[in-house]
Amino acid sequence: MRNLQINGERLWASLMELAQIGATQKGGVCRLAASDLDGEARRLFIRWCEEAGCTVTVDRIGNIFARRPGRNPDLPPVMTGSHLDTQPTGGKFDGAYGVMAGLEVVRSLNDLGYETEAPIELVAWTNEEGSRFSPAMVGSGAFTGVFTLDEALATRDNNAPDVTLGGELERIGFAGPAPVGSRPVAAYFEAHIEQGPILEAAGLPVGIVTGAQGQRWYEITVTGQEAHAGPTPMPRRHDALVGAARMIDAVNKIGHAHAPYACATVGFVQVSPNSRNTIPGRVFFTVDFRHPQDDVLTAMDRELRAACAEAAASQGLAAAVEEFWYFPPTPFDGRLVGRVREAAQAQGYPHQDIISGAGHDAVYMARVAPTAMIFVPCVGGISHNEIEDAKPEDLTAGANVLLNAVLESADAAGDRGA
Ligand SMILES: [Zn+2]
């Protein structure tokens, strides 16, 4: 493993300059996908890439690829990047860090006069956030075949249903000519702020991301019988809310029972008729289960169904448990994860393995190419917030790990495969 270094001050300066595009009063960034500000950030990124000697290609869904040639032009590139769009009250680092860290890798290789065997490609994916246009991760999803191009282009603005992502990309000049998804990728690395509290609490600058959590989402409808709150004696009630309350408590207990990795959340409840002197006849609520292992998610599913059946029976209710969405756990590529870990060790950075709790473009890329991620801590574990912050030294550490992991793959491509 080589032990080269990026220029941390240049990385920080680029992040701060990029953050001025869409800067908010509270120190955050509002740069919604395919907005004028997104276009401005894209043009700045392209200018920087071209100044660094890269050849830029934009595909039909607006994904930007910037290629630094290698010795062997026939080899598929090692790709790294993230996204430039933000939440409406987003921060300076979510997404921007991965794109700027990749750019800093290329700039540092230029400084060193270092020629890799395989090409290196920087990428800025379109609409990762899914805030203006839902769902999230549309650019990488189209690239990897999760969405068809037509589906991706037809995605509608949540606040203006006649405005589509495709139309807005054309308007800002980023409905590119390149076909979507036709580029081979030898390996994909993505650096990102953790967006959670684990690394900061452990005092570690680098997290080796071994994969992303799987998710199971449910919609549960509990049906009892509406009745007057006064004349109906307690033993004769079929109170849907009492049943739902027991189910919600069970969801929380299931989360704790599969600690430390399980997450179990009820975030949406509707009570009907929602009247203070009527016994609730119907309750609708949602469940969000997450865990990195599929067999544990399956066990949580069993436990949820059993708990709902028991709670319903205890109150004389009916409970319908519908699975709404399933997203399997995504383990990252063992060899690439190993390279990230070795790069952290070679640089002397304390680190730990970590699972991504959020979705990232890397989760879709893992379907088509060997993939790994690098996390750096963010202050207070806070993200999707204007106060999102990160320490320059941690950002430098993550980019140094990215540089050496990318090099290991780009130089291995010729003989041992990426
Ligand atoms: Zn992100």
- pLDDT-based confidence at residue 417 (cuts at 50, 70, 90): very low
Distance 192 CA to ligand 1 centre (A): 7
- 11-20, 78-87, 355-364, range with the lowest pLDDT: 355-364
Distance 332 CA to ligand 1 centre (A): 17
Interatomic CA distance for residues 73 and 67, integer angstroms: 11
Distance 375 CA to ligand 1 centre (A): 11
Q: What is the pLDDT of residues 132-186, one digit of tens each?
A: 998 899 999 999 999 999 999 999 998 998 999 999 999 999 999 999 998 999 9
Strand partners, 288: 217, 265
What single DSSP character describes residue 140? Answer: H
- 231-252 average pLDDT score: 97
Distance 215 CA to ligand 1 centre (A): 18
pTM for the model? 0.88
Distance 74 CA to ligand 1 centre (A): 31
Distance 137 CA to ligand 1 centre (A): 9
Is the pLDDT at 378 greater than 70? The verdict is yes
Distance 239 CA to ligand 1 centre (A): 42
Distance 72 CA to ligand 1 centre (A): 32
Contact criterion met (CB below 8 Å) for 367 and 273: no
Distance 217 CA to ligand 1 centre (A): 21
